[in-house]
Amino acid sequence: FNMLRPPRPWAERWCAMQASRSIHWTSSDVTELVTFAGCIELRRAVPLARILRSRGRVFADSSGSAATYLLSEPVSRIDVFISHNWAVSRMLKFLALSYHFSFGLASLLVLPFALLLGAATALGLLPDVDNSSGYPVGISCRMLCPLCFLVLMLFGRNILAWFGYEGPSVFLDKVCIHQENAAMKQQGIEKLGAFLVASDSMLVLYSDIYLVKLWTVYELASFLSQRDISEMTVVPV
Contact predicate 29/151, CB 8 Å: no
The whole-number pLDDT of residue 4 equals: 44
| H-type alpha helices, the chain | 9-22, 27-34, 48-51, 53-56, 66-69, 90-122, 140-162, 173-176, 182-190, 192-197, 214-226
- Give tens-digit pLDDT for 71-100: 999 999 999 999 999 999 999 999 999 999
Confidence grade of residue 234 (pLDDT, cut at 50, 70, 90) = very high
| β-pairing verdict for 199-206 and 78-83 | parallel
**What does residue 19 show for φ and ψ, rounded to 5 degrees?**
-65, -40
Pairing mode, strands 73-74 and 44-47:
antiparallel
The pLDDT of residue 165 is above 90 = yes
Measured CA to CA, the distance from residue 166 to residue 81 in angstroms comes to 16
- On the CB side of 192, CA atoms within 13 Å amount to 18
Summarised one tens digit per residue, pLDDT across range 29-63 is 566 678 888 889 999 999 999 999 999 999 999 99
* Nearest Cα to Cα of residue 50 among 140, 149, 167: 167
Cα–Cα distances (Å) from 232 to 30, 65, 151, 165, 221, in that order, read 22, 29, 27, 24, 12
CA distances from 14 to 7, 11, 19, 214 (A): 11, 5, 9, 21
pTM over 0.85: no
- Please report the pLDDT score of residue 13 as a whole number: 60
Residues 6+ apart with CB under 8 A from 64: 174, 175, 177, 178, 179, 180
Q: In this structure, are strands 232-236 and 199-206 parallel, antiparallel, or unpaired? A: parallel
> Which CB contacts under 8 angstroms, 24+ apart, belong to 138-141?
141/114, 141/117
pLDDT given for residue 3 in this prediction? 43
Using N-to-C axis directions, what is the helix angle for 90-122 and 140-162, rounded to 10°?
A: 130
